[in-house]
Amino acid sequence: MTGDARGTSGAETAMNRRSAARLAAVQALYQMQLGGATAEEAIAQFTGTSPRPPTADDDHPSRLPPPDPSLFGAIVRGVAQRRASLDGMIGGALTTDWTVDRLQILVRLILEAGVFELTERPDVPPRVAINEYVNLAHAFFDGAEPGLINGVLDAIAKAYRGDEMARARG
């Protein structure tokens, strides 16, 4: 059996690295939103290629494996480059009494990352993308936000990848 010291298989480790990449991407997008960093600056900081002072957490073992750098970079760059069109898709999936501007920043960023994967990453099954971002929402929110994220991502997946969604149900 291949994998890490915790006894996980190689497939499980790769899956965990992709989950970690999604979390790190949302964190990087949040940093960009609040601090004005560019996508490349945020990627450099999160991948350790940017000089920074050491912190006490540097020696602390993380419960998550290191993020998949390819997926992480693709999400951060993709959302940064396509934000307006992603927000347009999100707005189209919201009810008439909601707008993208009314969404909490973190909800919007999770949705942008999820919509990017649904529309630009055909290698990621739509149900996987939806599940990953709903789980990510549960890590941050206890209220109705995960349900909102699920509903919006599901609507967009049906609109853009309806055949795959139908086969997944079938």
Q: Which two tokens stand for residue 35?
A: 């601090």
Q: Which of 133, 132, 125 is nearest to 109 (CA)?
A: 133
Is 1.10.10.10 the CATH classification of the domain at 10-55+64-160?
no
Cα 66 to Cα 14: distance, rounded to the nearest angstrom = 10
How long is the chain? 170
What is the pLDDT at residue 9? 59
How many other CB atoms are found less than 10 A from the CB of residue 125? 17
Candidates 26, 27, 156; CA nearest to 91 is 156
Q: What is the pLDDT of residue 27?
A: 95
Rounded to two decimals, the pTM is 0.84
What pLDDT sits at residue 8? Answer: 52
Distance CA(104)–CA(97), nearest Å, equals 15
Where along the chain do its domains lie? 10-55+64-160
pLDDT tens, the chain, 170 aa long: 344 444 455 665 777 899 999 999 999 999 999 999 999 999 998 887 544 444 455 454 546 688 999 999 999 999 999 999 999 999 999 988 889 999 999 999 999 999 999 999 999 999 999 999 999 999 999 999 999 999 999 999 999 998 888 886 65
What pLDDT sits at residue 15?
Answer: 72
- Residue holding tokens 């993020």? 67
DSSP characters over the chain: --S-TT---HHHHHHHHHHHHHHHHHHHHHHHHHH---HHHHHHHHHT-S-----GGGGSPPSSPPP-HHHHHHHHHHHHHHHHHHHHHHHHHS-TT--GGGS-HHHHHHHHHHHHHHHH-TTS-HHHHHHHHHHHHHHH-SSSHHHHHHHHHHHHHHHHHHHHHHHHH-
pLDDT at 50: 43
pLDDT at 66: 87
